[in-house]
Each structure stands twice: as C-alpha cells, then as structure tokens.
Structure 1
C-alpha cells in the first residue's frame, strides 16, 4: 500500500503537535519529511550515500530543534534550511577527511580544484567551496544566496526565514552573487 504524501497544512499540524511533546507526531513527521529532506541534501551532495548521511543528520537536527520552528512560515521551509545546513556540514566534514594522507604514504591526496570541477559532472564542489570562502568574511550572504539561487525560494520566504527585511535580503543576495561569480569562474 502506497502512503499518500501529507500536505503542508498536515505537516504544520504534526510539527505543532511534535513541539508540544507528542512523540508519535514527531515520528510521523520525520517519516513524512524524509524524502523531501533527502532531495534537498541531494541538491548539495549528488552522491546518494553522502546525501543519505546528510539527511540523517538533518532529521536528527529537526527532532532536536523542533522548538526552533516559530510557526510563522511553513514547517517545510524551516525544514529546508535545516537540511541545507546539514548537507553543508556533511560536505565540510567530508572535505576535511579528504585531506588525510594516502594509505601507501605517497603524501597528501590531491584535492580537486574547485575552479575546474564541473557542476554538470555531478558535483557541487565548486559552489560549496565558493560558499565556504564567502562565509569566512561575509557569513550573512551565504544562507540567503543558497536559498534563492540553489533552491529557488521566493525573496519573501527567505526574508521570513532569516528574520530580515525584504530589502536587506535582496541586497545580501545581490552582494553574495558579486562575491561568488569570480570564485565560480576561477582565475585564468
């Protein structure tokens, strides 16, 4: 028997019940949103096992931080941000592990050059490296930029999620794009 997907109102109601301490509602909510969270994670980490790890982290974070959803916007939008952050965290962990030495002691493994790694080839390494670079000096631009340009959320929804005025969000995205362009093109 195939279960019918829950609508946004039903998910919001489950989230409210889970916030109130209903463990059954939390389990039902996590089960219902898992496919959506996995899709979000696959948008950042196309290799399925990596995306599954990030999705698992996202579901744990959602369960632990369900009280962080303010109820102003849709629960799924809040869940989307948690999943994106979990995917980015998984990417950082994987990148740090990739700097380990070769088991045959030939020296450090060569890391792919993010300026020449193709997004079309199935990796978002160049984008993620660019976001990491921008985040060091301008962390306020990263989340709005990812939510708009990678996930296509409307400006108004992003403003609600990050708790900033609409004009500020548009400016952050504009400035974030200016910072990202040269990082994505690479230097000649």
Structure 2
C-alpha cells in the first residue's frame, strides 16, 4: 500500500489545539503518511499548481485535514480547489480525470458539539450535509469520496484527555481507511 497523502490546511498551526497533535502523530509514521501543509508551503497564498497536481498523481489516497469554521474550510483550501482541480486535468477531457478512483476524505476538527449538528440541533444540519460541496466536487472529478472523520466539541470540551483520544481515533481512522465505505460509516457514524 502506498503512502496516504494528508493535505493539512490550518491557517495558524502554532495555536492549533488538535490539528497540530494530529500532524505530529502522522509524522511519527513517515513510511505510511506524507504530510503536506498548504499554509507552510504557500505562505503568500500563491499555489504552484503543477507541483500540487504532480503530488496528487503520486498518491492513491488523499485526506484533507482542516478545522471547520464558519461552516466551511479555510480559504486556502477553497483557492487550492479552484486552481488545482482544473479543466483538462481534473475533468472535462480524455486526458483529464487525474483524480479518477483516488480515495479522498476529509478529516475535520470541529469546535461545536456534535448534537448541535443535527436536524434538531442549533445549526439544523449535519456535518455531512454541510460538507456536501466537497463530496460533489470529488465525485465530479470521479474520485472515490469516502466518509469523513470529525472530532467535535473542541470549543467547550477540549481536555487533554479528549485531545489525546482524538489522536488515537484519527490514527485508527487512517488505518481502517481502505475498509469498505459501509464499514467506515458504521464505525465512525459519519454517513447520513
């Protein structure tokens, strides 16, 4: 099995509570994971599109790891999607569809509690519903979009014990990533 490419998108990793821990854990296994931090690679925000496309072509499994805020992703990820997944490379021509059949998922840290992301909760929508544009995007380019990993409740319940547990859960998710979609949905309760 080839390495999993983990594209990390956090605008302030130094103050991160969870993402920094997740990255440190992944970096302990360089034979399994290749961590690519977009904000470190592109501090000016200018993305090297060809470099990013070549990196994607080298990997069959890609995880996008980021904090969820304002019900979306950090702005550099949106820019990355707009600039990297372009016509002729990601879709729209016989030579395109370079993401075809690549396994893709999101790993998201969420400040708010999980019960707030329900039909009866404060925000009326699940995290799966709020991240539907990512699913549609990756399905559009014929990638194999997989169930997301989410760790909730950082704003009110970010104890050291819970954060350490999130690291274990994240590594477990990564180990089981190649299981069937149905198994992942059941285990991580991450499919609507």
Which has a greater percent of strand? 2
> Which of 1 and 2 has greater Rg?
1
Instruction: Name the TM-score, length of structure 1 as normaliser.
Output: 0.28
Instruction: Name the TM-score, length of structure 2 as normaliser.
Output: 0.28
